[in-house]
Structure 1
Amino acid sequence: MSDVAADPADFTAARVLVVGDVMLDRFVYGGVDRISPEAPIPIMRIEREIVMPGGAGNVARNLAALGAKVALLGLAGDDVAADQLNEVLALEPGVEAHLVIDEAWHTIEKTRFIGSRQQLLRVDRESSAQPSDEAVDALIKAALDALADNAVLVLSDYAKGAVGDRVLSRLVKAAAKTGKPILVDPKGTDYRRYKGATLVTPNRAEAALATGESCADDDSAVNAARKLVNDAGIANVLVTRGSAGMTLVQGKDSAPLHLKAEAREVFDVSGAGDTVVATIAAALAVGRSLPQAARLANAAAGIVVGKIGTAVVHPEELRLALHMPDPHGIAAKVATAPQAAERVTLWRSRGERIGFTNGVFDLLHPGHLALLSEVRAQCDRLVVAINADSSVRKLKGPTRPVQDERHRAQILAALGLVDLVVIFADDTPEPLLDLLKPDLLVKGGDYTVDQVVGADIVRAYGGEVKVSRLVAGQSTTATIKKLQS
């Protein structure tokens, strides 16, 4: 990405105002092993429950995860769901939320029941009536007050009532008057409501519904975007097209920009649109051009669809995806510990056996390949944990490692044997083992199973520990000595 600054993922100076339909997303997980005798429906045994901000709240989560500071405004009822929503929003660092309470309204709540790796049912609770004039007036006033302190305005419209015509009119005019970009995640078919917006970001289905164009290929996506520019008075349109990537049309006459999808393995597309809007908003807030912002958003979308549920993208993931050429999905295989936990959770939910090994892996040699091959033959997914540079220096001395942690991770990730690489800075991999709980831990060396670091952790939850004998004459130390001779 030659047209992006040296650190394209630095959004710490970004200040963004998000106004829209804030929701409470509830995920109820459980097991299903029998059918009800009362009706032909599955009986789900609830095991755990997760609540998080949804809708405009998920846009705010994504912005905060990228490092931006966010002011979030929306509507809520005087109910338990609003209390829970305020609680989870308070846990989001970088998000300052203010929910205007309408006593006659109900907080928007979506509950998804997921059993045996499949969503069984979604239950929505929301008000059918529009919010009161008093609540809308209070929302407008709070947004106008917050606008002065933020560089970009995001309007997250889920057609639930928070982004009505009065809110749109007042906020678009106020932001345009000060020259601040206005981003809209749209809903419905009449985009004239968004007249004056800097950018709208419909997905393929939304753009097709609003324009009558299929958006099935580049030409029809461009036609749809141009119709919205010409007919609705919108400055720019970004059509997100799933596996076909994105199409950006700037104004009436400029050449379109087509961006290929960057996802290598799609697990869940939930919330990907929120990630796109958030990334563009953060990028524009720190002075990136719209094409630069779209490219960043395309990379972020490729990352987030490889996660479970309505996930977020972190700056280090984006940096890695942008700076490492990734024709074979190498970047997606290098993860932080929390990201690795997400991926392992998904694999385990599919019944896959997780293998784990760790080491420095400084100069890759046949001994390393023998170890990795041995572990991979005994599992469905192989996680390799490598010592961070600081940890290697403690273990091996100031002249090691020969290759830094990023390059060591890239080389391992390029191997078909390896499914995930995690860099750890602790003296031992024990915290990582405790987090990931692999089914199999294998360590190469001349010692017994009882001497393997972390063996007690793995065996305590029923995992298996094995020792792989080293290949004679193969070691990084020997290779270095040979090079120096």
Structure 2
Amino acid sequence: MFLDRSLVLETVQAAFAQRRLLVVGDLMLDRYLWGEVTRISPEAPVPVVRLHKETENGGGSANVALNLVQLGLQTSLAGWVGQDAAGERLLGLLQQAGIDTSLIQTVANRPTISKTRIIGGHQQMLRLDLEENQPLDTAFLQQCQEQIVAHIHHPERRPQAIILSDYGKGMLQEPLCQTLIHTARQLQIPLLVDPKGMDYRKYRHATVITPNRRELMEAVAAQEQEHIPAGELNRLLRAGERLRQALQIELLAVTLSEQGIALLEQDQEPRRIPAMAREVYDVSGAGDTVISTLAASLASNLPIMDGLHLANLAAGVVVGKLGTTPITRVELLSALANEEHPAQSDKICTLESALQRVTQWRQRGEKIVFTNGCFDLLHAGHVTYLEKARQLGAHLVVGLNTDRSVRALKGPHRPIIHEADRARVLAAMAAVDLVIPFDEETPLTLICTLQPHILAKGADYQEHQVVGGSEVKSWGGSVALVPLVEGRSSTNIMAHIQRQQDDPSQQGA
């Protein structure tokens, strides 16, 4: 639970007051080659991926910066790229997102670090890495350091928080780390570190470090020459606290995947926040999202536990996506809204929110089924119909007529059940993945926006009568007419109730 939920909500809604943040670290270009696997190569026992599309995104510290700018913060990024096409594309991507790239240097004798992932269906088949392992030139790092320190001291550019995003690629050597930490402490700016490697001494005196479980195990082993098994979490946290004290770090926030986040601090027992993800699909970039959201929270003066809780919510969103994808402010607001009513109630959403989820499902190659109706006085016929519709694909989205829309279709005495209650009952069904109330007399806007693979309707319709049928076919989808249960209808139920009221002798008939 948040200490001050209303303050957190106001902070996110206000885009963290567009605070200024600085990210320093290792930049990468993430490339994705998306396709499907239909056969094994006759040349070798390997799958053949038929390529459908290519996408690119910022990786490493670039993904941290993209998370920040998507949340609404003013973001500067320091690092380097190679003097090559990949570097140009990465710079263009960052600049298009609104990130200040004036601190990014171009290096002539090194390639831009890039990772190319080949995705077959929704499974990563292979990753190709391009990078140079030779250390960066000391004079170059000194030049970077001077420019970054000048940026921090500049009164119009001074950040409210600094992130060191270390991917172990050479940018964050100990002299640069310690200079930036010392500068931040002098100016009372919180400095957060996403660490890499086994020696954390270069991060001493930082405000917060955010290792994951494996990274903390490696750092503790290097510090104390003792291996702690992964299952002994309490022992690991005690060793982490000793490491925190030895390095004089204010806070150590350990990300623990399905076990959430643990916070270690002076004179406190470890505090825990449970994991929020309902479906973990790809953990790529989750650590970037955690440190970005936490830094934004601290820059906005939110309490550390509220910042961690918010970061945990954000991580729960991004692990449900495929590929390295930053959190957006709309997604974070949606996660906040849904947190109070998990499971069924978060299925009820606006068209905008539904589109984001449907897009994620489509990117994962999952088939989307759409149907619609009033669903007034939900009965066995409705339940059977929805279950059959769900069997046609991976996800069933239901467009629900609002009360005004029902009255326009069925007259002034309908609906019997209020739209909020009808939506809540539908959302409780395992067969239903999303419920979208709509006020129009037809769901055509919903259908054209979501572009489902299959449009389902009751078999009492003919295909040419189904609203949106021709549109669905235009993008390669299909219309499915689902058989109905004979004798089950809301009209029959209401007629039976009316007969009982008119003739008491019929009661129980």
Q: Same fold (TM over 0.5)?
A: yes
Distance between the aligned counterparts of 2:182 and 2:239, measured in 1?
25
- 1:250-307 deviations in Å (ceiling 9; x for gaps): 22x2121112212222111111111111110111111111111111111222222122
AA matched with 2:255: T
> In terms of mean alpha carbon deviation, does 101-110 or 465-474 score higher?
465-474
- Aligned partner of 2:3 in structure 1 is 3
Cα distance, 1:427–1:185 mapped onto 2, change above 3 Å: farther
Deviation at 1:164, TM superposition (A): 1.7
> In terms of mean alpha carbon deviation, does 139-148 or 208-217 score higher?
139-148
AA matched with 1:105: R
- Aligned partner of 2:296 in structure 1 is 282
Distance between the aligned counterparts of 2:491 and 2:105, measured in 1?
66
- Aligned partner of 2:100 in structure 1 is 96
The structure with the larger Rg is: 2
Cα distance, 1:103–1:408 mapped onto 2, change above 3 Å: farther
Deviation at 1:245, TM superposition (A): 1.6
- Asked whether the 8 Å contact 1:102–1:135 carries over to 2, the reply is no
Deviation at 1:312, TM superposition (A): 2.8
> In terms of mean alpha carbon deviation, does 415-424 or 158-167 score higher?
415-424
Match of 2:70 among 65, 72, 76: 65
Match of 2:59 among 54, 71, 75: 54
AA matched with 1:44: V
- Asked whether the 8 Å contact 1:229–1:235 carries over to 2, the reply is yes
- Aligned partner of 2:505 in structure 1 is none
Cα distance, 1:357–1:218 mapped onto 2, change above 3 Å: same
Give the TM-score, by structure 2 length: 0.81
AA matched with 2:35: G
> In terms of mean alpha carbon deviation, does 455-464 or 338-347 score higher?
338-347
- Asked whether the 8 Å contact 1:365–1:476 carries over to 2, the reply is no
SS in 2 for 1:89: helix
Distance between the aligned counterparts of 1:35 and 1:391, measured in 2?
52
Q: Does 1:365 align with 2:397?
A: no
> In terms of mean alpha carbon deviation, does 47-56 or 255-264 score higher?
255-264
- Aligned partner of 1:179 in structure 2 is 188
Distance between the aligned counterparts of 2:422 and 2:148, measured in 1?
48
- Aligned partner of 1:149 in structure 2 is 158
AA matched with 1:472: S
User: 5+ unaligned residues in a row in structure 1: which ranges?
Assistant: none
Q: How does 1:126-275 map to 2 (within 5 A)?
A: 126-147=131-152, 148-212=157-221, 213-251=228-266, 253-275=267-289
Distance between the aligned counterparts of 1:96 and 1:142, measured in 2?
14
Distance between the aligned counterparts of 2:403 and 2:77, measured in 1?
39
- Aligned partner of 1:344 in structure 2 is 362
Distance between the aligned counterparts of 1:82 and 1:389, measured in 2?
54
Cα distance, 1:284–1:410 mapped onto 2, change above 3 Å: farther
Deviation at 1:331, TM superposition (A): 3.1
Distance between the aligned counterparts of 1:61 and 1:90, measured in 2?
10
Distance between the aligned counterparts of 1:475 and 1:235, measured in 2?
68
Distance between the aligned counterparts of 1:395 and 1:143, measured in 2?
64
- Aligned partner of 1:23 in structure 2 is 28
Distance between the aligned counterparts of 1:88 and 1:398, measured in 2?
54
- Aligned partner of 1:80 in structure 2 is 85
- Asked whether the 8 Å contact 2:211–2:254 carries over to 1, the reply is yes
Distance between the aligned counterparts of 1:68 and 1:398, measured in 2?
49
> In terms of mean alpha carbon deviation, does 428-437 or 52-61 score higher?
428-437
Distance between the aligned counterparts of 2:386 and 2:171, measured in 1?
54
Deviation at 1:365, TM superposition (A): 3.1
Distance between the aligned counterparts of 2:92 and 2:478, measured in 1?
36
- Aligned partner of 1:111 in structure 2 is 116
Cα distance, 1:217–1:89 mapped onto 2, change above 3 Å: same
SS in 1 for 2:397: strand
Deviation at 1:31, TM superposition (A): 3.0
- Asked whether the 8 Å contact 2:261–2:272 carries over to 1, the reply is yes
Cα distance, 1:69–1:364 mapped onto 2, change above 3 Å: farther
Deviation at 1:28, TM superposition (A): 0.9
Distance between the aligned counterparts of 1:475 and 1:365, measured in 2?
12
- Asked whether the 8 Å contact 1:279–1:296 carries over to 2, the reply is yes
Deviation at 1:226, TM superposition (A): 0.3
- Asked whether the 8 Å contact 2:378–2:490 carries over to 1, the reply is no
Cα distance, 1:409–1:58 mapped onto 2, change above 3 Å: farther
Deviation at 1:173, TM superposition (A): 1.2
AA matched with 2:214: A
SS in 1 for 2:163: strand
- 1:132-157 deviations in Å (ceiling 9; x for gaps): 34432343244334434321101100
> In terms of mean alpha carbon deviation, does 434-443 or 295-304 score higher?
434-443
AA matched with 1:95: I
Deviation at 1:395, TM superposition (A): 8.8
Distance between the aligned counterparts of 1:120 and 1:186, measured in 2?
28
Distance between the aligned counterparts of 1:423 and 1:169, measured in 2?
54
- Asked whether the 8 Å contact 1:207–1:224 carries over to 2, the reply is no
Cα distance, 1:456–1:155 mapped onto 2, change above 3 Å: same
AA matched with 2:356: P
SS in 1 for 2:364: helix
Distance between the aligned counterparts of 1:451 and 1:82, measured in 2?
53
AA matched with 1:165: E
AA matched with 2:363: T
User: What is the RMSD of the two structures over their aligned residues, measured on CA atoms?
Assistant: 3.5
Deviation at 1:33, TM superposition (A): 3.5
- Asked whether the 8 Å contact 1:358–1:429 carries over to 2, the reply is yes
- Aligned partner of 1:472 in structure 2 is 489
Q: Paired residues, what number?
A: 471
Deviation at 1:182, TM superposition (A): 0.6
Cα distance, 1:432–1:170 mapped onto 2, change above 3 Å: farther
AA matched with 1:107: T
Give the TM-score, by structure 1 length: 0.85
- Aligned partner of 2:501 in structure 1 is none
